[in-house]
Amino acid sequence: MRVRTIAAAATALVVGWLPATSSFASDLCERACLTGMVDKYLAALVAHDPNQLPLARVVRFTENGQELRLGDGLWGTATAAGKYRLYVADPEDGQVGLYGTVIEADNPVYLALRLKVDYGLISEVETIVVRSGGTPSFPPAGKTMEEKGTPRPQFLRTLPASERMSRADLIKVANSYFTGLGGNSGHNTAPFAPTCLRWENGVQTNSNPNFLRPADGGFNVVALGCEDQQKSGYFSFVTSIRDRRFPVVDRERGLVMSFAFFDHAGRIKDLHLTNGQTAPSPVRAPHTLEISELFQIDKGKIDQVEAVLDSVPYGMRSAVWDVP
């Protein structure tokens, strides 16, 4: 990498003299600055040149859970930025996220991106790249999101100051989603708004009866709303949701960007539902999903969910990112 500019070097020198509790980081990079960093990242990505970015001396970078050299992976194959961009900004902690599309070999891929910005310099880059639908029944995620073009409006609204929840409360609500889903019994559900919709790799996976139609006319979990899905007990095949992190919290918009691993041990063959029915488990072998999930929370309830997920080796952990 080429030598950094004098301005970047001077900023790095200042970092060494600032106390850990300094507010300089958030003062230096507010919402527009953070989302601008994402745009710079995408421009550098398609130019295949990390040196276009203001980088810290040490930068940690992962793609799909694996630590790589910044400039490897999608950096070598991306050809253009896509149309779909959903930002989540956290000026309080100097972090920013993106759910968006990137063109790779003429095909749109779906990207979840997180950047950590310290004193104007990027120190962490975390990505999940979905190059297929993630499961055989899902259409190509990148193509789907590119066609959608724009995010749902609930993700874009600015909340009045009086309606903004604390960081801790937003994380608590987001975490309750995972607690209600992992080892799902139907008796410990997250708080959902009645208008809740969830997209996973570009597919609406609740209140969508036409997406999956059981051949025998049996239980169709995708037809249910968010709350009724968790109350059904259907997701007991998700044996654990581990290594949960909530690094980006956008209080101004009520958004929480999370990362986790969903483990499916594959031992459960029949799902005993709370309505007395029995349904076959859709997972018959050990399987893990790496996921980034964005929660839009309205008045303490989960209203909209957007998820990027990719299959990884069973039991895999992130190469770099530790659970706080």
Tens-place pLDDT, residues 58-80: 999 999 999 999 999 999 999 99
Instruction: Give the neighbor-by-neighbor strand order of the sheet with 78-90.
Output: 66-67, 55-63, 121-130, 107-118, 95-104, 78-90
The pTM assigned to this predicted structure is 0.90
* Domain segments of the chain as ranges: 6-151, 158-312
Domain 6-151: which CATH number of 3.30.70.980, 3.30.9.30, 3.10.450.50, 3.40.30.10: 3.10.450.50
Tens-place pLDDT, residues 202-235: 999 999 998 877 655 679 999 999 999 999 999 9
Q: Cβ atoms within 10 A of the Cβ of 299, count?
A: 11
Task: Put residue 91 in one of left, alpha, beta given phi > 0 → left and psi -120 to 50 → alpha.
Answer: alpha
What topology is assigned to 158-312 in CATH? Answer: Nuclear Transport Factor 2; Chain: A, (3.10.450)
pLDDT of amino acid 322: 79
pLDDT of amino acid 60: 97
Residue with tokens 């063959």: 269
pLDDT of amino acid 211: 84
Using an 8 Å Cβ cutoff, are 200 and 141 in contact? no
> H-helix or E-strand containing 288?
strand 287-298
- Residues with pLDDT less than 70, the chain: 1-27, 133-137, 214-217
Establish whether domains 6-151 and 158-312 are of one fold.
yes
DSSP 147: H
Among 147, 62, 65, 63, CA closest to 108: 147
